[in-house]
Amino acid sequence: GRRGPLPVNATLVDKMDRKVSKKAGRAVYRKRQHIIEAVFDQTKDARGARRFMRRGKAAAQSEWKLLIGTHNLLKLYRQTLTGPTSTPWTSRNGSPATC
């Protein structure tokens, strides 16, 4: 991998490449992939949102925010029914997870 500080004009892609070029960065990213892919799967398959219904970037962004907002509301609702569970952001004892 490349060593030394990132250039001031480094793009987000450059920064991400640097992050995942390190062993610890790859491990964190691998965990994140499983968390995020589950949300995409839920949104696409279970909720039938395979494509945007409206045209234009702003319309698609607002539709996406609505989909993800309702996803989060459903998660909160399920937690009120079953009680808090361990999530990727909390440890098994309920305290915030550390990275």
The 10s digit of each residue's pLDDT in 47-98 is 777 777 778 999 889 988 888 888 889 889 988 888 766 555 554 555 554 4
Q: Give pLDDT, residue 99.
A: 41
Contacts of 15 (CB under 8 A, 6+ apart): 6
Backbone φ and ψ for 90, nearest 5 degrees, come out as -130, 155
Provide the Cα torsion 81, 76, 62, 48; round to 10°: -40
pTM, full prediction:
0.46
Domain boundaries, the chain: 9-50, 52-85
Range 17-45 average pLDDT: 78
